[in-house]
Amino acid sequence: MKNTLKKLLICAGFTLLATGVVHAKDEAKKAPAAASASASAKTELLDINNASKEELATLPKIGDVRSDAIIKGRPYKGKDELLTKKILTKDVYNGIKDLIIAKQKPAEKK
């Protein structure tokens, strides 16, 4: 009787352990899906060549004065020109570089 009880308890323990592992794997599979969904929501970048003053001002550490400076410095071939043209400091640029893009106008056909 004691052997049977021990075997039963051991089996129950393994079952609980296996259930926890399976549940953990399920949760791990769900996490990347949720992360990719939030990442795709974040992929809409603000185009510094076309954004309005109000749109630019929504970026971290970018207010009216910096928005005006960004607009005055247009057009940009790349977002890093905000640094090379000394529109923004490196600290401010690092805070927004993942939120912006500098789209180019399509070449005109002759």
Mean pLDDT in each 10-residue stretch from start to end of the chain (110 residues)? 67 62 56 50 84 97 97 97 97 97 81
Model pLDDT, residue 12: 67
Kindly report the CATH number that applies to the domain delimited by 46-101: 1.10.150.320
Model pLDDT, residue 36: 46
Model pLDDT, residue 63: 95
Domain residue limits, the chain: 1-42, 46-101
Q: Cα separations (Å) of 40 from 31, 33, 84, 101?
A: 14, 11, 29, 15
